[in-house]
Amino acid sequence: MDLERIEAIIRLAAEAGLAELAIETENWRISLKTAGPPALAPGALEGSGAVIEKPAPAPATVRARMVGIFRDTSPPAQVGDRVAAGQTLGHIESMRILNPITAEVAGVVEEVLVEDGDPVEYGQELLVLTTLPEEVSPPES
């Protein structure tokens, strides 16, 4: 195998974005592995006009953990409210007992899917939250 052919294989692998390539024939074997993208020096992006996008916050769904009647908190959770992990967002009344529905993550209420007095089933979606990276303190009572 000549050098031009090896260079052509390397170029093709790079253009295709391959991280690893192995070719083997009866007479020869070639194996290529890229080292990954080059690391940027500290401060390399300053003044370069580069935009670093943060990943979009992930939605989290609050679901009913039992069958019953949904009951709002006072005041009820509304779209745009910031909630803390562990904060009570409502209750499910079952056998005349109020069972709290809590947020598993800190977030912002994006959608309220049930109203006070609605019957709910196990696993039913009740609210949709957009998660927050930082912790939110629960409101003081």
Q: Please check the confidence at residue 34 and state whether its pLDDT lies above 80.
A: no
Confidence of residue 136 (pLDDT cuts 50, 70, 90): very low
Residue 7 has a pLDDT of 80
Residue 134 has a pLDDT of 56
Q: Which of 75, 125, 68, 120 is nearest to 97 (CA)?
A: 68
109 and 77 in contact (C-beta within 8 Å)? yes
Residue 70 has a pLDDT of 97
Sign of CA dihedral 43, 44, 49, 50: negative
Q: Which fold has domain 59-131?
A: OB fold (Dihydrolipoamide Acetyltransferase, E2P) (2.40.50)
pTM over 0.95: no
Q: Give the domain ranges of the chain.
A: 3-33, 59-131
Q: Which residue type is seen at 12?
A: L
* Cβ count within 10 A of residue 5: 11
Residue 137 has a pLDDT of 52
Residue 44 has a pLDDT of 58
pLDDT digits (tens, 9 = 90+) for 47-80: 555 565 666 667 899 999 999 999 999 889 999 9
pLDDT digits (tens, 9 = 90+) for 74-128: 889 999 999 999 999 999 999 999 999 999 999 999 999 999 999 999 999 999 9
Pairing of strands 97-102, 119-120: unpaired
